[in-house]
Amino acid sequence: MGEKVPLCVPNLGPEELRSVKEVLDSGWLAHGPKNEELESRFADYIGCRHAISLNSCTSALYLGIRALGITGEIILPSFTFVASANAVVTAGAVPVFADIDYDTCNIDPDSIEERISSRTEAIMPVHFAGQSCDMERIMEIANRKGLAVIEDSAEAIGACWSGRKTGSFGVGCFSFFPTKNMTTGEGGMLTTEDPGLAEKVRTLANHGIPKTTMERAGQKLPWKRAAVQAGYNFRMCHLLAALGTVQLSKLDQMNALRRERAADLNGRLSGASLDLPIAHARAFHTYQTYTVKAKRVAIRDAFVLGLRRRGIEASVHFDPPVHLQPFYSGSAHNVLPITEQVSRCIMSLPLFPGLTSRQADAIAAAVHETEAELKDL
């Protein structure tokens, strides 16, 4: 076994420790000033008017659907983490799965058009592995058909389409899980231009109470709180927001390093029998995950296992796709040939901002050794 290389390592340093200590020293651990700072700066970064910090991207997706009042069909890719579809179902809407483009693994606008019916109310593009979907075509379809757009940008913080950041086209939903381009451990964000929608989301996330504890602290009777609807506890705590403020300040630098590491891996793996990641000419790719595709589908699982035996923590995103998972196997439009092809041949290799040349050497060596081992299968 060669050098062990993990799939992902969060980029954390003394700045994050100082920010968290500042919150600990303040004694205010629930939603607080760092949340407001993170929300304001994140909205500016994405290019929208409002950002609401939450406990996960799944909560953001769910609240976006609820706040928009959607109960009909939402078109989304099956090639995604199951949370995308779960948010649709638990919010009371109906998922309709569309196929994807082989090169980018993003939802195919032609497949969206084919699935629009009188019951369709929204499109949920899922930006895969750090690359934006074709938002020009998706927005043209949505505007022409009068559909809402809820962007699952969990994997695409800082990614752009024609210079415009994901999460600024429709209702944006982001994840700060440790594998993402910036992290708060657990956490998420919802972005929107609509002040009314933002207020609905804030209220739903805070037990149905319009004002947070911090906002009530300046009132004469701060203990007075009254719910205007049934809500949830989907808030992000102050400690996690403290992490987020520092991570956001480092995000562009971390994304630049991801792009450099991806380009380096592309060069090292150019001779392998793999389809390497393709960046669309109009997309600014931030490489949340570095994915490759085995040209021979039959050896994919053996390839991943071979890499893992050699110390390379390779994985697969996503197999099975959502429409083939037991709960969703009866969903409409389950003929998705490209989705099923990609799910059988794709694999994820380690990539993170701190990936070293020595680790990249180990990845390339393991790929070539595994390929040689499997050549006769």
Rounded alpha-carbon distances, angstroms, from residue 85 to 65, 89, 92, 245, 374: 12, 6, 11, 29, 36
295 is catalytic: no
Amino acid symbol at 242: A
CA–CA gap between residue 377 and residue 374 (Å, rounded): 5
For the chain, the three-class secondary structure string (H helix, E strand, C coil) is: CCCCECCCCCCCCHHHHHHHHHHHHHCCCCCCHHHHHHHHHHHHHHCCCEEEEECCHHHHHHHHHHHHCCCCEEEEECCCCCHHHHHHHHCCCEEEEECECCCCCCECHHHHHHHCCCCEEEECCECCCCCCCCHHHHHHHHHHHCCEEEEECCCCCCCEECCEECCCCCEEEEECCCCCCCCCCCCEEEEECCHHHHHHHHHHHECCCCCCHHHHCCCCCCCCCCCCCCCCECECCHHHHHHHHHHHHHHHHHHHHHHHHHHHHHHHCCCCCEECCCCCCCEECCCCCEEEEECCHHHHHHHHHHHHHCCECCECCCCCCHHHCHHHCCCCCCCCHHHHHHHHHEEEECCCCCCCHHHHHHHHHHHHHHHHHCCCC
Residue tagged active-site, from 34, 165, 180, 250: 180
Token pair listed for 188:
């998420």
User: Residue 215: exposed, middle, or buried by beta-carbon count in 10 A (0-12, 13-18, 19+)?
Assistant: middle
Catalytically active residues, by annotation: 180
